[in-house]
Structure 1
Amino acid sequence: MALKITVIGTGYLGATHAAAMAELGFEVLGLDVVPEKIEMLGRGEVPMFEPGLEDLLRKHVAGIEGSTGRLRFTMDWAEVAEFGDVHFVCVNTPQKHGEYACDMSYVDAAVESLAKHLSRPCLVVGKSTVPVGSADRLAARLLELAPGGAEVELAWNPEFLREGFAVQDTLHPDRIVVGVRSERAEKLLREVYATPVAAGSPFVVTDFPTAELVKTSANSFLATKISFINAMAEVCEAAGGDVAKLAEAIGHDDRIGKKFLRAGIGFGGGCLPKDIRAFMARAGELGADQALTFLREIDSINMRQRGQMVELAREALGGGPFLGKRVAVLGATFKPDSDDVRDSPALNVAGQIHLQGGQVTVYDPKGMTNARRLFPTLGYADTAIEAVRGADVVLHLTEWREFRELDPRELGEVAATRLILDGRNALDPELWRGAGWTYRAMGRPTA
């Protein structure tokens, strides 16, 4: 009999996972505790921008004309427990307020709410990013609460989604990692992921702690790579070098690789910053804090980039205060192909300049609504042209394709001064200079 799958939590991760499981051919039931979210998803709409996700949802959500009807949503825990053979827990694990540690309250609540209804054999699978040791604790809690006892098992299957590529990463993952304690749990997860495994995705079987550590260590490595090239940008700035050429040269070494070597204003978003901080906090609890002291410097380099961009803008404007200066900011999201502005370096820089008296106008292709909600006092424009109109300096802070394809001559006609600072090292300096602009980028004083 075909497996039935449930997804607990229908935010960014859960909505994507539910739609992808339906695409793989499973009957899927998604649960959330927020009625508005359930209503939206039931109409085939998503509460965030993610390329391809809404189309995938509409293809499978029951009640939509022409859909497969394989995907439904509910708020009823008992219905979910009765329906599912495999229950994926996809709830949020934010940073605790005022601390580095991870807030596990949503995961704990989800497992406890589900467990009391589990009376038949099933597998509960954690996908949320959690501190190492959480799976052991939750497995014991399941055994304690579930009427089905030992027939209700836990597994851990971390997610590796990149915002902007989430659908692709779920349907064609570059690896599938499962932390299991029994052959039965492994067999069930092999059945769930049979299609991507057949297409070549590696299937890595491990224990609970290793599965939990894979996600946090992968994020820590990526954060290290980004902060390394940003540290090199600081050195290039001081030495008169070009960090873009430096990155190109070292990227040809296949032990290093070219990815994540673009210097700029650093990483943000809802995952990388909070994950490396939670990793440090958990290492401290385990008595292994010295092993991760380097992550503190990684975090520090990353946060420093934002202040350096503000100083670069100040210098470009003559070194005085921002008071009365008009500053155009291209980009609000923490990365392109997303509407996510959580811990966005672009908005942080815009906010700092605004607080120092600058008249800041922001434009972003997808992040305007969320940016306005977070920073209501900033100015906003509906197009790049409108943002740049009358600007003394233009800051390129999120590397959207739309910005790379802008016509510098057209923009030059509306700007007060043709001065652009490329905070993402993503624009073509020759193109902009050819249109009469002064082009400046971080770590490229001679470029």
Structure 2
Amino acid sequence: MKALVASLLLGGVCIAVTATFVANKQAVRHRAELAHHQALWAAEKSQIEAALKKAKGKTVIVESPSSAPPVSTVVTVAAKPDTAAILERLQSFKPAPPVPGSSQPSPRQMKRILHEFESLVDAGEAALPAIRAFLDRNEDLDFQTAGFKGSRDGNVQTDFLMPPSLRLGLFDALRRIGGAQSEAMLADVLKTTARGVEVAYLARVLQEIAPNKHRDAAIAAAKDLLANPVAEAAALDKNDRNYLYGVLAFFNDSSQVAVAQGQLLAASGSLDRAALKYLERSMGEQVVSLVAQAYQDPRVTDPAAKEPLVRSALAFVGANDQALQVFGQAVRDPALQGEPIRNLVEDLNQDGIRNEKQPTPEDLKLIANRYALTQRYLQQDFVLNNKALLEGFREADKDLRNMLQRASAPPKPKP
């Protein structure tokens, strides 16, 4: 019996030793295989990481070895816009005939153009070298032949859906990209451009970015181009002098008043509207004596010159005796009969009134004086016998009376 027990114990020991030996051998082999796979993965990972640096907009799936079920990791590498290519596409754009009744490209073309500009903005400061290279060439491409707001009074819009030209679109992109480099590039163009519309746009944008920092440069640029105008190159240059005088008025610079007075009337009697607008904004009510003198100049016979002079005085009718005198001459002027004088008379209900819906005390005084004026004129035979004058005075009289009634009505109770 003892011999049997000893045999069984000996057999168990042998089995245990054998199992331990086999287990150790398998562990060694497993570690070797694991090390081998890890080495392969390290090499493969290095190759993938190197490829990722070169990838542009590609989605790469990297699988990590694990004892757990394999999990795929998705790595998306954002493609950087090719800004030079974007500029090339914008330069090669050939506008098709605009939609009838519109000065802008077709909706399809607008989408293409806007997409390119948005891509430049998305690129951020990476787009600056390509933009600078193009601006330094002093080339441009107009996207709109007309319709750029602000040409009459010299103001320009600094935000637009569709840029009027390639350069103005790039200025807008720089404004939106922001930063010191963008500001410096805009300031550089302000000092070198020969287009009034660009000076006006840049002056306002730079004033928004850094108030008064570039004021002197803007005024100097406007004065230089007024003194040394360049030939009109495109439709956007048609109102250059309006834009340039608008820059001076924007910064309240009245240093060119004497110059503008000398330019107001040409020897032929034609009127310089750009100079007149600048004088209106710079001189205020004092401009009335100037336009009164110009209106009586015997060289001024064209209604196209007379109407703007009367309109300058119109803003002060009811507050200035000399303005009232100009208005009285205008309603009897044969050169202004018909539509021109009717529109002028009707506009007694708005020109010079700061707030038509909620008139200020000064507005109410002006409105009351004008209402008394229309009442007097509506009793005059020459008005009653002139259809255009009668319609104009009746319309102005009605609107002025309504303004006074609204102002005197008690406030409505709050619900």
After TM superposition, the score normalised by the length of structure 1 is: 0.26
Q: Could you say which structure has the higher strand fraction? A: 1
For the pair shown, which has the larger CA radius of gyration, 1 or 2? 2
Structure with bigger RCO (C-alpha 8 Å, 6+ apart): 1
